[in-house]
Chain A
């Protein structure tokens, strides 16, 4: 099947307006008769639920944490992009659009990205009005910084806690609607199934994580805002609970999963210390604005960093990418770090680390300035490593961080299942094969505040309210299936813990479907994942019962999904016989080791359709065309 992204036609800058003009509206008096289920209350979900509630729809919002304020968006550090051009340094909507398409290595839809760039400015206005305390200069104007591979300063930030402040803003808006009674909140609740009736999304089945109760919620439409699947690698910068369950189970009900192999490995994370490690901590990319990345020129150099003289250091990013230097995009910086470590020049335990050195910046700007900019990050680093980064360089290493892939959606954010919308990191839409820094927050909020309310109205107006009730046979069947799956997990009573399986899956994924992927490794992964899954279903040990709070059972369900999903990822990576963005196939590289894209054969979105567990999913393609930005080799040299 050839997929249609339903992009509007016409001049780029007018497309969103035109689409809005075509979309039907719901009569204000009728809005409350429509029920919308919003799963997830991170930036995408909280902003969507608040906006839809405010418009008068009846909204139910779900999250697995105890409060919407704890969604994983809270952890974003560095900032959010917008094309305001306040610094007058040459930025524009078009340039943000251009940078995003190019940064994504030409694997995103032009129409979507342009709309995102356009809406970026509204987001900043909205957040400021909510009381988000973005950094300002002494005259009281908003401050900007340059971030992650951009040559203009377009990133707005609130110290090192931008995600927290944006989420608190959205959470405030959501809280206001909860107070007003338009949104009903279900915290500590996990979505475990999507209910599709006559081809339309009509509800979800959930488990109340406190009481263990499994029940269904019927609605006129479902919005999945459930974040990314980076935890398929076990160790990632994501929160412990981040999962693929909501999107994967929708996939099993017919939603297409697009570009699952497009994952982002972030270059600046604290290296692994041992097997006990449960997650990896990101050191904000903003550090690369002032820090210089290097390793010793000599292999296995045991000297302390300050004992290594300048001319025996290799500032490899500055050397390889003179025009972008330490600010080279994430995929490129990560691979470069892996390369020098593979050569045996890595530093720290196990040789899996490179230095991020602030000595020059401290000398140039003073310690106070550096501490004002990054104080909280230096503190965090010291807490974890017991090392003082003012005195010796930080040690960093790449780690799984963000997933560009996600459920396939059209320009209206609707999946191929009518009534199922997907927002934020959970969809695949705007970042192509690589996301630029500070663009995820922007996308989540554009989707939630400014897009979904228009597009969902059109669908609702066309279908009419109250299409399904939770006593429909499909709901009962869904509850039965979810219940049976959790009973099954509890009854296996094997010998290995859920974590143990997750850890092993993570090792397979990191080794073979991680930063560099080769045919042999991918084929091996495709053999080992099903084997591990087989063992999981006969040898996992999940203690306790399903009738109350049971964290092992929650984890078991999520890991079971990762064990199926990992295979789709590896398959997607195997079939994409090119290197682009975060997807690097060792067979496809330029003589100098740079990624070699193949636009003749792979300029498309790969969207996978579920065909049964262990069966090969069916590939559908959405061809990508570039009318405005000519396809070109990405160069940051």
Chain B
């Protein structure tokens, strides 16, 4: 099939950027979306033009590197699917496709479709872990964990950190991302100990990095390629409230 593409081109942060038009020819329905872009890029290189820069690595929906807004939807039209797992059989001959980078205040564009998501890493660095040393830990079966709790922890831990939730949110909030990490660790006895402090420092880091507030639009859940649920945001809020009851509260955090 043949397609018309409008792709965001931007040289760097200083550049204003624009949508340029391209044609993709002889696209097989078995190709993935990124393979379609590879083909377009090969054509551009042959013509001596600069290929479109985009992030990707595993191409199997797990590393969270790929990040494109397709026709206004982060990761494109197919539910629970990253761009790298989206196949061209979901498009039709003659379609026009708009391809843009994640757009959020906390994700400055580096080039074309590539944005800087290190703000998400800094949220984790602030406290998104269990503070355990290497060695000196108990036997793995010493602390039992109810299966239903591990299952919820795992549902939350499946987050691939791609940032699509931020790109989809009208406020550019990282609430689903942060809530997933908070929930994953709060559900397990090993993470429970630091739960109160964790929710405080991570929430503060989120605001510091320029992410917006959550006003319950739930766009994040709708586009999340891993089906992370907004109920985790409620969990985060509960954990946050708990810190005001009996414990020091967040203001004395970091």
Contact = CB atoms under 8 A, between A and B. Distances in A.
Contacts of A129: 130, 132, 137-138, 190
Q: How large is the interface on B (under 10, 10 to 19, 20 to 34, 35 or more residues)?
A: 35 or more
Interface of A: 47, 50-51, 54, 65-70, 72, 74-75, 84, 86, 122, 124-131, 133-142, 158-159, 161, 164-165, 168, 171-173, 175-176, 178-179, 185, 187, 210, 239-241, 273-274, 276-279, 281-282, 379-380, 383-384, 386, 449-450, 453, 495, 497, 499-500, 541, 543-544, 548-549, 551-552
30 contacts: A50-B134, A66-B55, A66-B65, A70-B161, A74-B64, A75-B63, A126-B132, A128-B137, A129-B137, A131-B190, A136-B147, A140-B146, A142-B140, A158-B157, A175-B129, A176-B131, A178-B125, A179-B125, A210-B110, A273-B30, A276-B30, A278-B59, A383-B61, A497-B46, A499-B42, A541-B46, A544-B50, A549-B110, A549-B114, A552-B45
A384 B185 contact: no
Nearest to B46: A497
Interface in B151-202: 153-154, 157-158, 160-161, 184-185, 188, 190-191
B35 to A, nearest CB: 5
B245 interface: no
B49 interface: yes
B197 to A, nearest CB: 13
B81 interface: yes
A431 B223 CA distance: 41
Given A69-B161, A139-B144, A159-B158, 9 more contacts: A66-B65, A125-B140, A134-B150, A136-B147, A173-B132, A383-B87, A548-B111, A549-B53, A551-B51
A101 B133 CA distance: 31
B141 A72 contact: no
Contacts of B50: 543-544
Interface of B: 11-12, 28, 30-32, 34-35, 38-39, 42, 44-46, 48-51, 53, 55-65, 78, 80-81, 85, 87, 89, 110-111, 114, 116-118, 120-121, 124-135, 137-141, 143-147, 150, 153-154, 157-158, 160-161, 184-185, 188, 190-191
Q: Give the top 4 A-B pairs by smallest Cβ distance, nearest first.
A: A172-B129, A140-B144, A129-B137, A128-B140
Nearest to B60: A281
A86 B141 CA distance: 9
A8 to B, nearest CB: 21
A495 B121 CA distance: 40
B41 to A, nearest CB: 8
Given A129-B190, A140-B147, A175-B129, A278 B35 contact: yes
A74 B140 contact: no
A91 B184 CA distance: 31
A199 to B, nearest CB: 31
Given A129-B190, A133-B153, A543-B51, A74 B62 contact: yes
